[in-house]
Structure 1
Amino acid sequence: MVSAMALVFLGSKSASASKLPSNYSFDVMKAQDGSIPYMVKPTVKSGYIWNYSHTKRIHNIKNYPSSNWYVNYASIKKYGNKSSVYYRVVSNSGKVKGLIWSGYLTRILALEPDSFNSEASFDNYMQTNRSQRLSREIMKLFPNSKLSLDLTKATQGVNPNHPFKTNKYTDVINIGDLQPTGSTDELNNIGWKLSQTSGDPITPRINYVKQVLEDNGYTAQKRNSMSDYYLGLYITDNAQIGTEKDFPFPYPTIQSDDGMTLSAQLFLAKLK
């Protein structure tokens, strides 16, 4: 949902929740890098989305279990003696918009590979974290290739100006560089397409990946046979980078929320 690749700025300037200013607001038009990605809290089973004037219920989040929600405006609304923060949100499909109580949602957060010190913790993260839904679908395309934290770390920042340098691996395949048959435009390669559609619905993107893989000879049969390959993945899918402690203020702020990362790096390689 953001238009340019950026790094996240973590929230050292954030206010505390107990010091919520009476005129608090967040306006995406004043933020550098776009809307803030949220998901429904796991404990929330139902919650209404209202029209912007807060006079009519128009949707229920229970009907959109797979959607991400992008906050583009937030402010305090007072009802009687109670003040609450409400978000203006849009679904990742762009089809659902409205006003929702902030208490229903929580940030979508991702971690960098260097945050992990064991394969087990990395694997658990990849299998359970909301930000890694696309990664999980890509892993299914290579069912017999083993996810590798070491390879994932080794391939960070690899690009035409910074080639893959480690001597631990051989037969390295940069999946992200693959393009459809007949294409010579790098804007069509897998990595670029996934980064520029970060946060969008997963099915059409994974179908694009499958088609490009097929175009390049990586049929389902071929992929199934790649049991001697390791898989290195780093796809943040427009999530913010960090943990809840990096965002102590529970509501979007320009200072702490500018910037999501659109990284999408995908590699296969054999150990020497």
Structure 2
Amino acid sequence: MKKLLITGVIAIAAILGLVQSGSAQTKYTIQRQSFWQKTTINKAKYPKKSIAVWNAKHTKVKFYLKDYPNNTWYGRGSETLKHGKTTAKYIYIQGNNKKHTDLVKGYVWHGYLEAGFGEETYSHKYLSLDSMTKNADYLKYIKKSPSQKVTREIVKLFPNNKVTLKMSKYAAASGAYYFEDIAPKTYFTKPDLTGYTIVKFPKVIDYLKSSKNVSATIRAKKVKSILASYGYTTSKLKKLSSKYQIGINIVDSTYITSDSPECGYAFIIGKAK
């Protein structure tokens, strides 16, 4: 009798489990779905937590963000899901798999993402200025990218001054040299720098353009001498007010493929009035 009772309880539990499992799949319904023309750049807000990335119907976990803690996630679209009486926005994301041979993709609740690059992306050879929205993004790129050796050396010449993304975008939009295919349209929309005095160094641009195969150390020494010809000697650079900001963007044949001639050079300093 006991055996029959236990068997019956197990059977009922199994049936209930199936019912609940089936109903769980119908709890989320797609209210709205769209795919974007412009991609957003995101990173995980909590890269070490088990945040699930789902299929579109929210019935299957495809992977967890913690499996790819350093990834950059490119937002390609969104959907609004209804769950009971509440609705929530999910972002459709794509990013590299662990072998960098394919993409992993799916939907994740928007609150688990924030704007910016994942840590591994900063070591790439090329990131465009228009893909960045924060100073911290650009400074990390300059610090970590193997293509930014000469940038790092030039910045050392200005011990009291910081590179800013805003000034760098202005440099890229005014008096810079870029290979035709590399400069995005947004470079030509100058940031508003009302309240700044801008100093340009066209001879530095010309030299950088003609010396991309020279070592970073030698190029930095030459830039130092060119700056001195403008009156910005080592002594003066050491005394420059911290009100000066550096605008710099150097691309040395690092865009798309190694055998492409793409390059770009922008360099100014600006002082807050």
TM category, shorter: 0.3 to 0.5
Higher gyration radius (CA): 2
TM-score, normalized by length of structure 2?
0.46
- Higher share in strand: 2
